Amino acid sequence: MSPGNIVGMAYLKGLDVIAITDHQTCANLKSAFAAAERIRKEQGSAPVILPGMEVECAEGFHMLAFFPTLSAALAFEEYLRIFQPQIPNVPDIFGEQYLFDENDEITGTVKNLLSTASFQNSIQLTDKIRRAGGCMIPAHVDRESYSILACLGAIPEELPVRMVEISKNCQWKSFLKYRPNMSEYSYIRNSDAHRLADISEPVETLEFPSIFEDNFDAEHIVQALREMSVK
């Protein structure tokens, strides 16, 4: 799963938008943007990239953070690093954490382990994400691990969200049968791909205001998501 391969596969599958949300890092986003720009110049179009991150908060669950610009995402990563445990990665156990250029050549590795949680809680992180112009959506809430419902049992009233993400094989109506309290929330469904073959076909849709038709970019998408997802 290198940046160029991800963007290239998304283009081949005809996806309009993809979000790149590595766990606790944005280190390969620049290369993904460069790969998309190369495809756009060569082919005339490319998927819009939502710069983001899968953030693990102190409570132990995952949140999807989407940002309007690459610079906003990178600035958030710098902020998050302050509140991350500085534990060296052990590649023989956890595997290498590669950095790539736009041509998918390995340029280095992330030295500290990325699978650890932040010292900041979900309220603190959500506030920071929103102040950066982004939006936060609780991730894969249907799962039994690393989801807000598995960790806390419910979404706290003080967490200002009204949209959640569900896994690609989760059926919302079936989910509501055992989580009826979630009926007040809207949802998005992502592929959450960790292999190229797992990147979904263009079957999931979101409707955006028609005013975005002539300028459909990450800033407008995140603006719309903020309006849809924030209490």
Q: How many CB atoms lie within 10 A of CB 24?
A: 23
Structural domain total, the chain: 1
What's the CA gap between 3 and 7, in Å, rounded?
6
> Among the residues of the chain, which ranges form H helices?
3-12, 29-43, 70-82, 91-94, 122-131, 148-152, 172-178, 218-229
Domain extent, residue 74, equals 3-229
Per-position b or e across 190-201, b if 16+ CB within 10 A of its CB: bbbbeeeeebbe
Q: How many CB atoms lie within 10 A of CB 42?
A: 10
Q: Which structure tokens are listed for 228?
A: 């849809």
Q: Measure CA 154 to chain center.
A: 21
Question: What is the Rg, in whole angstroms, of the alpha carbon atoms belonging to the chain?
Answer: 17
DSSP 103: T
Quote the pLDDT of residue 183.
Answer: 92
Quote the pLDDT of residue 198.
Answer: 85
Q: What's this model's pTM, rounded to 2 decimal places?
A: 0.91
CATH of the domain at 27: 3.20.20
Quote the pLDDT of residue 132.
Answer: 92
Quote the pLDDT of residue 218.
Answer: 87
Quote the pLDDT of residue 217.
Answer: 85
Q: Divide the 231 residues of the chain into consecutive groups of 10 and give the mean pLDDT of each group.
A: 91 91 94 94 92 95 95 95 93 91 91 92 94 93 93 92 90 92 90 85 72 72 80 60
Quickly tell me which residue has 């999931």 as its tokens.
204
